[in-house]
């Protein structure tokens, strides 16, 4: 499920759905789960070129992914639905009292990571891949993609709440995937999230996406057989629990985080040793993947 809280953010989605042909493609994939490009073209009576153009819009909206698979007549492009449900909140339940900020995926404060691992800016790799010591390189703060098999990175979110203000919800959105050697659509990973040392719960990433499908914002110099894009996820902690894309993952509430007494809020992304699926994590920033953003934080509050 994907949740959209801002109509401006939904513009790409609306554009993708504003076509009978693209709606038919979605219907086909919902029935058959996956199809190659030739099968879709034949079913709909379209040229392969037309299907390719429609797919670009569906991929940009985060509805469909394409991966390469070997077939009888060479490699095939296999299309799959990413989401089975999309929620658009036209009217938000929150009061219009909030502050927000965006933090680059490389601007972590502490880390402990294990290979395979690496990091890069929009222009170059930092150091050598699979060597954790480069996560301490001074240029890590400028990185737009980071990846590791297990361990964690932790970010500092500024806490601008005043004494007469109480946090009622934190929302954090980010583009994320597993970390496989190369890419693999089927590479599950249990990725855990923490705020101020409190475990919020975890989300299982289905895979590490790429192959023949390039990330929309991934730079041209990036290696085609490396992670290209992720899924956009919304983590929220409110007064009644913790949610990923609207699905409750734990009973941890905003009261459990103890925000008001802190000068900062610490957000950790981890694949711990005790995870059932240790499949790594990749975090995509503004200049990589399919979404033009870094890690977005929104803190809703009320006067007390």
**Co-location of 154 and 77 in the same domain:** no
Take residue 82 and report the two structure tokens written for it: 């990413």
Give the chain's mean pLDDT.
Answer: 90
Q: What is the pTM of this model?
A: 0.74
Lowest mean pLDDT among 16-20, 82-86, 207-211: 82-86
Reported as a single tens digit per residue, the pLDDT across 83-140 is 766 777 665 555 568 899 999 999 999 999 999 999 999 999 999 999 999 999 999 9
Position with higher pLDDT, 145 vs 61: 145
**Co-location of 59 and 201 in the same domain:** no
Q: Mean per-residue pLDDT for 201-214?
A: 90
CA dihedral 64, 1, 153, 194 (to 10 degrees): 180
Q: pLDDT-derived band of residue 80, with 50, 70 and 90 as boundaries?
A: confident
Phi, psi of 215 (to 5 degrees): -65, 140
Q: Percentage of the chain with pLDDT > 90? A: 63
d(CA 62, CA 109): 30
Q: Note the pLDDT of residue 187.
A: 96
Contacts of 76 (CB under 8 A, 6+ apart): 36, 37, 38, 68, 69, 70
CATH code for the domain of 27 = 1.10.10.10
Reported as a single tens digit per residue, the pLDDT across 141-172 is 999 999 999 999 999 999 988 888 899 999 99
**Co-location of 191 and 61 in the same domain:** no
CATH code for the domain of 125 = 2.60.120.260
Q: Note the pLDDT of residue 32.
A: 77
Token pair 């070997």: residue: 70
Domain limits at 203? Answer: 93-303
């Amino acid at each position: 499920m994907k949740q959209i809280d801002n109509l401006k953010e939904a513009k790409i989605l609306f554009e993708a759905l504003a076509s009978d042909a693209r709606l038919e493609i979605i219907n086909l994939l919902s029935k058959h789960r996956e199809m190659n490009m030739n099968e879709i073209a034949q079913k709909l009576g379209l040229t392969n070129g037309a299907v390719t153009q429609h797919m670009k819009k569906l991929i940009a909206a985060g509805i469909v992914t394409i991966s390469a698979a070997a077939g009888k007549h060479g490699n095939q492009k296999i299309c799959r639905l990413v989401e089975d449900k999309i929620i658009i909140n036209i009217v938000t339940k929150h009061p219009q009292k909030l502050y927000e900020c965006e933090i680059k995926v490389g601007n972590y404060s502490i880390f402990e990571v294990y290979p395979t691992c690496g990091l890069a800016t929009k222009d170059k790799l930092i150091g050598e891949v699979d060597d954790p010591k480069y996560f301490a390189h001074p240029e890590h703060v400028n990185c737009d993609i980071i990846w590791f098999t297990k361990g964690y990175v932790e970010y500092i979110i500024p806490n601008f709440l005043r004494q007469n203000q109480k946090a009622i919800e934190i929302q954090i959105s980010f583009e994320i995937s597993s970390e496989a050697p190369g890419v693999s659509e089927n590479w599950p990973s249990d990725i855990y999230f923490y705020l101020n040392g409190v475990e919020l719960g975890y989300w299982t990433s289905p895979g590490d996406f790429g192959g023949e499908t390039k990330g929309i914002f991934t730079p041209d110099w990036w290696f085609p057989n490396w992670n290209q894009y992720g899924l956009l996820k919304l983590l929220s902690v409110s007064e009644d629990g913790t949610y990923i894309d609207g699905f409750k993952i734990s009973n941890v509430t905003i009261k459990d985080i103890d925000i008001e007494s802190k000068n900062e809020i610490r957000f950790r992304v981890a694949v711990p040793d005790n995870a059932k699926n240790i499949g790594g994590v990749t975090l995509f920033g503004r200049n990589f993947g399919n979404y033009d953003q870094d890690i977005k934080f929104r803190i809703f509050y009320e006067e007390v």
